[in-house]
Amino acid sequence: MKLFNFVEKAYYINLESRQDKKIAIENHFKDACIEVRHDDGIWLRFDHGWMHIRTSNTEPILRYIVEQEHAADAEAHLQTLQELLETHEA
């Protein structure tokens, strides 16, 4: 699988809400995933790409990385992530 559409972003969060945000993201995407891992945050694998979401241990930041085969899919995942983060803002 060749993946080229890679985006990494950071979102400033309220530290008290970080677990709620990670749970909301995982719950939203889990049915579309082939694999979910919790080694370092949440890593989700899809048919044509993957997504990694983790909170910083030193800053009030949630980092997310999306890599998809098609740019439109990467942008759709990014948009959904942004909406979920804003919806679950404490």
The two three-digit tokens of residue 3, written as one number: 């993946």
Tell me the torsion sign for CA atoms 12, 18, 24, 27: positive
> pLDDT class for 89, splitting at 50, 70, 90?
low
Residue 88, pLDDT score: 58
Tell me: the pLDDT tens digits for 24-78? Answer: 999 999 999 999 999 999 999 999 999 999 988 888 888 999 999 888 998 999 9
Residue type, 36: V
